[in-house]
Structure 1
Amino acid sequence: MAFISPLRLLSSKQGLDQARRSGILGVATCLAGLLCTGAAMAQDAALMNVYLNHARVLKLDRSVSRVIIGSAEIADATVADAQTIVLTGKSVGTTNIVILDQNDNPIVDQRILVSTDEGNTLRVYRSTARAILTCTPSCEEQTKK
């Protein structure tokens, strides 16, 4: 493919039309990318992350009447006071939480992802065997259930 200078390309009608089409296509591609990124960010915002065997405090603006966890094997919720819920990750997986106010209106209806905190972990691979070590401060192998 031969190189055509931008000035020469824009000096002909055909070149100008091609440049316009390329520009429109470029803008459309950028907009599509932004829309997809926005959708992914909105999906991440709707996902509440909790680490395995860690607690997360939820402060609410209204009093709580009921707390419903989709799968009690994955997460647990404790009402600390009328406007505070403590959410604890029990096993790795996804579930949901629904929190209702005094009139049974939903305050929160959100998905929960319980995952391991890999900030202090080390994975050791020996042939087909794998060991995961938790290093806080000394390294110990994670127990498997």
Structure 2
Amino acid sequence: MSTDPITLTTALRVCEAAVAEAESAGALVSVAVVDAGGHLVAFMRMDGAEIAGPVLAPDKAYTAVANRIATHELAEQAAPGGPLFGLHAHASGRFVIFGGGVPFRLGDRVAGAVGVSGGTVAEDVACASAGERAWRQAAGPG
């Protein structure tokens, strides 16, 4: 797998894959791709998508990178009584602890992430997973 930083071309492919998944599900979403430092590389918002998406999608991607875990998995740990309860109150409120953020893994390293917001939690997770698959395909062997 390549160790190159996430390029704009690859990030746009990730966004396109997530949007295609949303279209097939009948959802309207926003999609953000961030690099290993949590910096925004690409963003797309479907016509008619919710107004919160431009904030939530990048923050879901940031959360997935910063915590090295998909946000739907993080939600279980951050639930009341969980080992990370209260996590959502940190990072100036930027950590999003519900589904839609998926990290891009290179072995034990996280190279970036995709965040999706606008559908149901299950739709956001499916769209983010489609984006992650597109990243993996674009990254190729390295």
TM-score (ref. length: structure 1): 0.21
TM-score (ref. length: structure 2): 0.21
When you count strand as a share of all residues, which structure comes out higher? 1
When you count helix as a share of all residues, which structure comes out higher? 2
Q: Which one has more relative contact order, counting CA pairs under 8 Å at least 6 apart?
A: 2
Q: Which has the larger radius of gyration?
A: 1
